[in-house]
Amino acid sequence: MKEQSYTSLMLRKIPIDIMEHLKSRAEENNRSVQGEIMTILKTTITQSAGSVMRTIYQRNLALGRTNPDQAASIVREIRDER
């Protein structure tokens, strides 16, 4: 199993209402504020990746592409639109 490496991130000038919301949410979930922020980041990143995959899948269906090899062309189309 590959060992995971870590880095640090510092946030400054967090509005008080957001910090209070984070503290409250962390307490509700029995986590530290740092743990809550990590959970939010992981969830957001996972959902973003899922959104891209859903877009690719939906384009495949709309174009009548059912062969997995055709998915590469959709990935290229999405990439080139950016």
Say which residue, 59 or 19, is predicted with more confidence.
19
Task: Give 51-60 contacts, CB < 8 A, sequence gap 24+.
Answer: 52/78
Calpha distance 73→80 (Å, rounded): 10
Q: Which residues contact 31 (CB under 8 A, 6 or more apart)?
A: 39
Q: What pLDDT digit, counting tens, does each position of 20-65 carry?
A: 999 999 999 999 999 999 999 888 887 776 777 777 777 777 877 7
Residue 30 structure tokens: 């029995």
Whether pLDDT at 6 is above 90: no
